[in-house]
A and B are shown apart, each in its own frame.
Chain A
Amino acid sequence: MVQSLDRLKETASQTAGPYVHIGLTPNFCDIPGVYPVDLGDTMVNDKTRGERIKVKMRVIDGADTPLKDALIEIWQADADGLHNSPSEMRGAADPNFTGWGRKPTDMTTGECVFETIKPGRVPFKDGRKMAPHLTVWIVARGINIGLHTRMYFSDEEKANDEDPVLARIEHRRRVPTLIAQRDGDTYTFDIHLQGEKETVFFDI
Chain B
Amino acid sequence: MTDAKTLSNRRPETGAFFQRDRAMHPPAYTPSYKTSVLRSPQKALLSLDNTLSEITGPVFGHNILGELDNDMIHNFAKPGESAIGERIIVYGRLLDERGKGVPGALIEFWQANAGGRYRHKKEGYIAALDPNFGGCGRVVTDEDGNYWIRTIKPGAYPWPNGPNDWRPAHIHFSIFGHGFAQRLISQLYFEGDPMIWKCPIVRTIPDRAAVERLVAALDMEATIPMDSRAYKFDIVLRGRRSSMFENRMEGN
Contact = CB atoms under 8 A, between A and B. Distances in A.
Interface of A: 6-24, 26, 29-31, 33-36, 39, 61-63, 67, 69, 73, 75-77, 83-91, 98-100, 107, 122-127, 130, 133, 135, 137, 139-148, 150, 165, 168-169, 193-194, 198-204
A39 B2 CA distance: 13
28 contacts: A8-B236, A12-B213, A13-B26, A14-B205, A15-B36, A16-B172, A18-B122, A20-B185, A22-B119, A23-B135, A23-B136, A26-B134, A26-B136, A39-B60, A84-B1, A85-B57, A85-B58, A87-B178, A88-B56, A91-B252, A100-B1, A122-B52, A125-B51, A142-B33, A144-B30, A148-B54, A202-B48, A203-B19
B36 A22 contact: no
B238 A10 contact: yes
Contacts of A141: 35, 39
Contact of B250 (A26, A84, A127): A127
Contacts of B249: 89-90, 123, 125
A73 B46 CA distance: 19
B205 A123 contact: no
B35 A142 contact: yes
Nearest to B205: A12
B25 interface: yes
A86 B201 contact: no
A14 B26 CA distance: 7
Interface of B: 1-2, 4-5, 12-14, 17, 19-22, 24-28, 30, 33, 35-43, 45-60, 64, 66, 68-69, 75-76, 95-99, 108-110, 118-123, 134-136, 138, 172-174, 178-181, 183-187, 201-202, 204-205, 207, 209-211, 213-214, 235-239, 247, 249-252
Contacts of A63: 38
Given A85-B58, A87-B12, A87-B56, 11 more contacts: A10-B237, A12-B213, A13-B26, A14-B186, A15-B33, A23-B173, A75-B58, A77-B53, A144-B25, A165-B48, A169-B46
Given A17-B172, A22-B136, A194-B41, A35 B69 contact: yes
Contacts of B95: 8
Contacts of A22: 110, 118-120, 134-136
Given A14-B201, A146-B184, A86 B2 contact: yes
A144 B43 CA distance: 15
A87 B185 contact: no
Contact of B21 (A10, A36, A201): A10
B136 A31 contact: yes
Contacts of A39: 60, 64
Contact of A86 (B12, B51, B211): B12
B180 A135 contact: yes
B210 A21 contact: no
A89 B14 contact: yes
A126 to B, nearest CB: 7
A39 B61 CA distance: 12
A99 B53 CA distance: 11
Nearest to B15: A87
A137 B180 CA distance: 9
A196 to B, nearest CB: 11
A50 B238 CA distance: 33
Nearest to A88: B56
B21 A9 contact: yes
A23 to B, nearest CB: 3
A12 B54 CA distance: 19
B35 A204 contact: no
